[in-house]
Structure 1
């Protein structure tokens, strides 16, 4: 099949070309939107990423261009209007799991960096400053870790934290028996929010989870709590979190995703003015660590993303089910 890839970076091209099978691939660095959708002309399918827009208007134009398949090279799918896609007979497939360890380990790296302030120590030493002032952290051992969402990534994260000797409590609609067997305790969302020293989000973004962390949720948390989000930006009401940082309800914030990250993350804006005032405000807090959606960025994950995405496309071409249909 002829496939047009949107929002591509050099690493996308490298790993997809390496595993492309018999497909014909074309890579565009622009994101999918009303202006760029015309680039899909002459292709059988398109491949998109987390910040590409696949709304009703885009889907209608894709249908007019003869596109029959949208392949998401990610697990999240909140950016696609599935009702419209179904009406237009456009199939949608995704990569439900690639390397859950990649994202889970990144969440742990945010925790460790925020806690032990290694990013600040690194910069100090590079400047010849060997002072230890303001670098005090805390032992993770025996701290209570709250995991919201215990799918594959949440499970991997919980297992790592158990290895640190932490007490792990969790909230999910579906309980993970593997974690229960390992000693993880499931509880209500309110209990997880109120009892945890560190809360890590690993749930999908749905109508029910948008702004899961809002003013009400923040009020239930311990003062000085550490909040980590490596899932989807809109799980957090960013304005509420800014206020919680200002009044010191949140003691540490680690974000690999951001509610308004589209057109910001994945781009080099170092020579431009940052027009997002909320993100700019977040970056002024000394206890906030932001990475630009890099949790998935490991060789193992990129390999699996490419292989699973291309296998999904091959299955569609052959009239088979891949098991990854949305």
Structure 2
């Protein structure tokens, strides 16, 4: 696969302090990528951009390590609350750059009060997450993960592998931003009937052949419900006991957006009652304590997560939906551009 090419970022920093950037919650593949891209960055005052990569997350306890840095780059599970922001201010940080689209983990009001800018990556390869959403749907439906293990053991029995034809089924898409629209395009290509809910309808969605309905109608008529909305006060636990009760028996629920959109206890009850026939998750409400790390030699203490993994009709991936070469390049290029030019500020 060819590496993506990016135009050289050119910045005039004559009136700015030298850039000292601290990256948090980084993995080796990110360090290599950002280091490569930073070599393409030029500044008029010829002062090199200084960078440090930390594996640990940024929170109120670790913010002291930002002393002397002008910018911090954070990810989805870093905790940028008011206490963290106050600590960053004392360290002289001027800019918090999220290398993701969501910003529910940042107290934006506290940052504004502290005089610290916050930027994000508003859109990156929406097809990447959309394709992972369909991967969860198809894997749960046709049970390819189970078939793979059987065949490796020489078991070719088809018992328990029955799926359903996706063509002609009604699928509900909650949230019709760029990722939601990418999911809709794929579903329409499969021949599905697509119902949508979003407080801000988009004419392009209607023109594509999907239909906006009320949330209740979507829940009542969709055999598959997939979430693609941001996490905020209004959407927190949008999937709860009441909304699950409205769904058809045996519904498939997919969440590749944010863990806080679903009430885990209600989900477990729905699985036990068989109201939820399939569950696909790429996110989890308390994922910051689990995801992006190897816990295979440990005893996981999260009882709710452990309970979810016991159901045979549940498929969980560890916030993998964004993880393609193309998406990582777009995220990295946009993040660095935000730091240099001040773009995409909240």
Q: Answer yes or no: same fold by TM over 0.5.
A: yes
Q: Do 2:142 and 2:164's aligned partners in 1 also have CA atoms closer than 8 Å?
A: yes
- Write the distance in 2 (CA, Å) between the matches of 1:254 and 1:231: 11
Q: Give the superposition deviation at 1:34.
A: 2.5
Aligned with 2:172 (options 120, 142, 146):
146
1:269 to 275, 295, 298: 295
Structure 1: distance between partners of 2:143 and 2:190: 18
Write the mapping of 1:1-326 to structure 2, written as runs, cut at 5 A.
1-20=19-38, 21-22=41-42, 23-316=49-342, 322=343, 324-326=344-346
Q: CA deviation at 1:228?
A: 0.2
Give the 3-state SS of the residue equivalent to 2:289 in structure 1. Answer: coil
2:172·2:219 contact (CA, 8 Å) conserved in 1?
Answer: yes
Cα distance between partner residues in 1 of 2:205 and 2:109: 35
SS at match of 1:120: helix
More deviation in 62-71 or 121-130? 121-130
Give the drift of 1:35: 2.6
> Separation in 1 of the partners of 2:36 and 2:164?
44
Tell me the secondary structure at the aligned position of residue 191 of structure 2.
Answer: coil
Q: Secondary structure at the match of 1:262?
A: helix
- SS of alignment partner, residue 160 of structure 1: helix
DSSP 3-state at the match of 2:118 = strand
> CA offset at residue 24 of structure 1?
2.4
Moved more, 12-21 or 1-10: 12-21
1:160-198 superposed Cα distances (whole Å, 9 cap, x missing partner): 000000000100011121121111000000000100010
Helix, strand or coil: the match of 1:289?
strand
* Alignment partners' CA distance in 2, 1:59 and 1:187: 40
Q: 1:231, 1:140 → 2: CA distance? A: 22
User: 1: distance between equivalents of 2:325 and 2:33?
Assistant: 9
Q: Return the offset for 1:207.
A: 0.5
| Structure 1: gaps (5+ residues) | 317-321
The CA deviation string for residues 281-323 of structure 1, in whole angstroms up to 9 with x for no partner, is 000000000000000000110000000000000013xxxxx1x
Any idea what the Cα deviations from partners look like across 1:122-177, whole Å, max 9, x if unmatched? 11111111111100000000000100000000000000000000000100011121
Aligned length: 320
CA distance in 2, matches of 1:18, 1:180: 42
Q: 1-side partners of 2:275 and 2:325: how far apart?
A: 37
Is the Cα–Cα contact under 8 Å of residues 60 and 80 in structure 2 kept in the other structure?
Answer: no
Structure 2 residue runs without a partner (length 5+): 1-18, 43-48
- State the distance in 2 between where 1:286 and 1:155 align: 30
Q: Distance in 2 between matches of 1:194 and 1:82?
A: 36
Report the TM-score when normalising by structure 1: 0.97
1:194-245 Cα shifts (integer Å, max 9, x gaps): 0001000000000000000000100100000000000000000010000000
How high is the TM-score relative to the length of structure 2?
Answer: 0.91
1:170 is paired with a residue of what secondary structure?
strand
